[in-house]
Structure 1
């Protein structure tokens, strides 16, 4: 049989060999290929056109321009890796009224929220924002980093003992260490790519949900790990902030949202309400946890999570300094390079004004409220049970018309106990052979044997005859 490649790259073909176009009114595309009709084609007559129908996924926009795909043979079927391009709105440099501020953290990788710039220059926060927590991924990165450091130290020691001799006894072990080290590096790279993609998508989705036209991010070059200790410095150096911002720019450009970097000086230090220096302390809900996550303003008495105040300061600074935003000629990246004191005074984030309620003046008598609230369980006595299978189910007792327990309750259960297995080491207290209405709830024993019979006349005689 002739050997054929498992992948066909059609992007290198011209219009005389391959063409693709949409089928009007359907979600399909028609791919036309010019293939040879014989094993040894010698002229144009030995080539013929073959048409292939491709189902387009719903993620492809209707007005997108389709490009020639790459065909792959997978599982006995031909798969098409289709590329397309479509026009997107151009991100504006100025004129923004709603902005999303993004603050960086350690365990909480991103903290973001939206603010609005009103016509009178007042800035208000839209909600309390959100956080992208990546503690599990960061912990795994830390473990991989430690493993890589140990492998590096061990490999360097083997190389030192071997002296570069290929015939040394440790040469084979050194080769295995090098291979394991490359695999650890690949795992770290794959983990960083996935984390950057997820964080960027979360930030862009937050901006789209808030209706923001710009995302303001702290300038990464100004974030230096100085004077924070060896552990914090190492964790900061292992962050994937650069990859997150690059992917954020790429994803935001698709929806016409600008990504602007702003200076990070004083964003976590000053109050978003009055710009006064904050006092940091431990969070009130975690008094035993290390760190200074809570911020309190001694001036305006504002308090909250320091990351929440930071993203408000970042977004407000970006909106106030948007007239100084500079777009790079080559890369097209936008940034605010310096903080202007005159514009910085306008970055005060006012509390959101809630809508006033309607007229609540009293127009009638006040409804009487009982001094004691009505209990959730009614205290009326249970109805009596008539003879026979008919009748109302008494409250709080087992069903009167059931002659046997449920299939799930017949394993090792009775009426007055819980469903606990007795085959293991655990022995439940009290009776261990029973179940109530639920598998883990106690039930009251039936009481229909103590309820007097009130049936009289022919019906009573009929029931007595049935008993006899």
Structure 2
């Protein structure tokens, strides 16, 4: 037998990487070079396989190209060197200062509501000096129907595999020599494969939803994100299939990723109680009537909300994020911070503050109320087309005065030009349509009128500072 214990064991296997984070400044240093595009890494490496003294070591300088994702003012840390495809790769870590998220004093907030078909519905709101709260734009939705459908398919497959494995387990009764033992091992491997696929899909969905939410807050210049508290949400009253879909959501992961990404840009993430956010009107706090769709006002449902008091109507989730943002802005003085986890939340709703958590509607741009004297109009309107023909001139377009819509070089003018060209005539189509007022000339755009639906929301105000990165 060997005399040494290490002679019995084989040579230890180690990864082909070099962790420089464990080195001190006497063995490795890194600093920026050539502005902010490159970094210079200096290492003290041995010149022989068995270094015996300090003379067997020498300094080696390595130039690292920095990616554009590293900010110019970031502090670089010692990387981890790896060998991949014959080249040395560096896993570079960096840090930069971020302003601490404020607990109160917010003027613009992003309200986020959870949904079933639309995973997230979000929009920005602003509180003015006089206490009024208005929305910035019409908001947006994060739809992940394709990812959720794949997730539900994997869930059903996982349930089927578990049921089959339990049945085989009962048949074998722990006998290792049973004929179904090999099939049980195959089922176990397949269940691990499906579980890993579901986990990777949930992680990708969580990062995508969190990134979208934080981007919306950055675009709206919001300093806080108010989101529903998951602990106050219950999946009940919608049937077994809907409750299963709600319980399988990755909402907890989305909140964790959202908190991480919001902290990188100094935006606070505050949870708000979800009670009555979808039940009450965002403009008058009156209970809403829920219907299936806007064109089916008599069919009971849960997707479309109608207020009989102020005549507001819209998507249920669109009204919910307005309520969440207004509730967060009015209750921001009640925000508390958890000392252990560092999360912020509004735990209780005060009735006095809730009464002022209403959205002030904006006046429509289509308001045609008379605010001054009518502008004087000419007694004889200007004709649509020039009556004088184009002058004769050289061939080509140079030096030729334009004549209007129709060209004189055509042998016959279009049919629409011959109809109703007088200055005092009215275009009257042969069918039932009767134009409103006097319209000169012929043309589809003069007599086509589209009436907006009664449930249509007003167009967003382009003068607002609501922007989107999508």
What is the CA deviation profile of residues 330-385 of structure 1, one whole-angstrom value per residue up to 9, with x for unaligned ones? 2210000011101100111011246899988515527838799xxx985866469x
Give the aligned partner of residue 231 of structure 2: 221
What is the CA deviation profile of residues 145-167 of structure 1, one whole-angstrom value per residue up to 9, with x for unaligned ones? 00000000011111111111222
Match of 2:354 among 322, 344, 349: 344
Q: Highest relative contact order (Cα 8 Å, sep 6+), 1 or 2?
A: 2
Give the aligned partner of residue 426 of structure 1: none
1:23 offset after TM fit, Å?
1.1
Give the aligned partner of residue 207 of structure 2: 197
Cα contact 1:113–1:312 (8 A) shared by 2: yes
Cα contact 2:291–2:300 (8 A) shared by 1: no
Distance 1:354 1:30, change over 3 A: farther
SS of 1:154's partner is: helix
1:7 offset after TM fit, Å?
2.0
Distance 1:237 1:86, change over 3 A: same
Cα contact 1:126–1:352 (8 A) shared by 2: no
Q: How does 1:128-147 map to 2 (within 5 A)?
A: 128-147=138-157
Cα contact 1:326–1:335 (8 A) shared by 2: yes
SS of 1:72's partner is: strand
Q: Does 1:260 align with 2:273?
A: no
Cα contact 2:291–2:298 (8 A) shared by 1: no
What is the CA deviation profile of residues 122-148 of structure 1, one whole-angstrom value per residue up to 9, with x for unaligned ones? 111111100000111110010000000
SS of 1:331's partner is: coil
Distance 1:289 1:136, change over 3 A: farther
Whose Rg is larger?
1
Q: How does 1:362-441 map to 2 (within 5 A)?
A: 362-365=375-378, 368=381, 378=406, 382=410
Q: How does 1:293-372 map to 2 (within 5 A)?
A: 293-353=303-363, 361-365=374-378, 368=381
1:223 offset after TM fit, Å?
0.7
Give the aligned partner of residue 47 of structure 2: 37
SS of 2:339's partner is: coil
Give the aligned partner of residue 90 of structure 1: 100
Q: Does 1:11 align with 2:24?
A: no
Q: Does 1:238 align with 2:248?
A: yes
The answer to which of 15-24 and 83-92 deviates more is 15-24
Distance 1:354 1:289, change over 3 A: closer
SS of 1:248's partner is: helix
What is the CA deviation profile of residues 259-305 of structure 1, one whole-angstrom value per residue up to 9, with x for unaligned ones? 00000000000000100000000223689999531100011111111
Q: Partners in 2 of 1:53 and 1:363 — Cα distance?
A: 75
Normalised by the size of structure 1, how large is the TM-score? 0.76
Q: Does 1:124 align with 2:134?
A: yes
The answer to which of 359-368 and 235-244 deviates more is 359-368
Q: Does 1:108 align with 2:118?
A: yes
SS of 1:140's partner is: helix
Give the aligned partner of residue 73 of structure 2: 63
Q: Any gaps of 5 or more consecutive residues in structure 2?
A: 1-12, 386-403, 415-470
SS of 2:293's partner is: coil
Give the aligned partner of residue 427 of structure 2: none
SS of 2:152's partner is: helix
SS of 2:348's partner is: coil
Give the aligned partner of residue 161 of structure 2: 151
Q: Does 1:207 align with 2:220?
A: no
Q: Partners in 2 of 1:354 and 1:24 — Cα distance?
A: 55
Normalised by the size of structure 2, how large is the TM-score? 0.76
Q: Partners in 2 of 1:289 and 1:33 — Cα distance?
A: 73
Q: How many residues were matched structurally? A: 381
The answer to which of 221-230 and 21-30 deviates more is 21-30
Give the aligned partner of residue 78 of structure 1: 88
Q: Any gaps of 5 or more consecutive residues in structure 1?
A: 385-394, 396-468
What is the root-mean-square deviation of aligned Cα atoms in Å?
2.8
